[in-house]
């Protein structure tokens, strides 16, 4: 993962957060799910850990934007959104670690 991919991943996270804010009602919404899957697709290609978390977000979104599944989720729809937010935070942490590794590598190869 390079700096450009990290920056684009951060943009994608912001887009996902905006998308979730726009579609924050726990009702059947196939269109919202399709758009979220498209956004998550970018996150899934550069890092296995991030791909795993993005897959978990997708699974939660399926429950959230279903006709009834969100009612059975422990804590209900608000807990699903909280869990998605937590997973996005974990992805951001992974991006920070990746970014730090890039910086550390650049520092080692180009001493000040």
What sign results for the dihedral spanned by CA atoms 30, 31, 33, 37?
positive
CA 110 from chain center: how many Å? 33
The answer to whether position 44 is within a domain reads yes
pLDDT on residue 55: 98
CA angle (40, 44, 46) in 5-degree steps: 135
Boundaries of domain holding 55: 3-103
pLDDT on residue 72: 84
pLDDT on residue 41: 96
pLDDT on residue 28: 94
The answer to whether position 111 is within a domain reads no
Contact 51, 88 (CB under 8 A): no
The radius of gyration of the chain from alpha carbons, rounded to an integer in Å, stands at 16
Q: Which residues of the chain have pLDDT under 50?
A: 110, 112
The answer to whether position 59 is within a domain reads yes
pTM (2 d.p.) = 0.90
The answer to whether position 108 is within a domain reads no
CA 80 from chain center: how many Å? 13
The answer to whether position 110 is within a domain reads no
Domain count, the chain: 1
């Amino acid at each position: 993962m390079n700096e450009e991919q990290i920056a684009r991943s951060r943009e994608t996270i912001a887009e996902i957060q905006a998308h979730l804010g726009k579609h924050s009602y726990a009702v059947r919404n196939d269109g919202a799910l399709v758009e979220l899957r498209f956004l998550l697709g970018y996150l899934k290609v550069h890092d296995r850990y991030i791909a795993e978390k993005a897959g978990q977000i997708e699974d939660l979104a399926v429950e959230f934007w279903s006709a009834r599944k969100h009612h059975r989720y422990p804590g209900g729809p608000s807990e699903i959104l909280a869990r998605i937010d937590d997973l996005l935070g974990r992805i951001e942490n992974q991006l920070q670690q990746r970014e730090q590794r890039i910086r550390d590598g650049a520092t080692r190869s180009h001493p000040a």
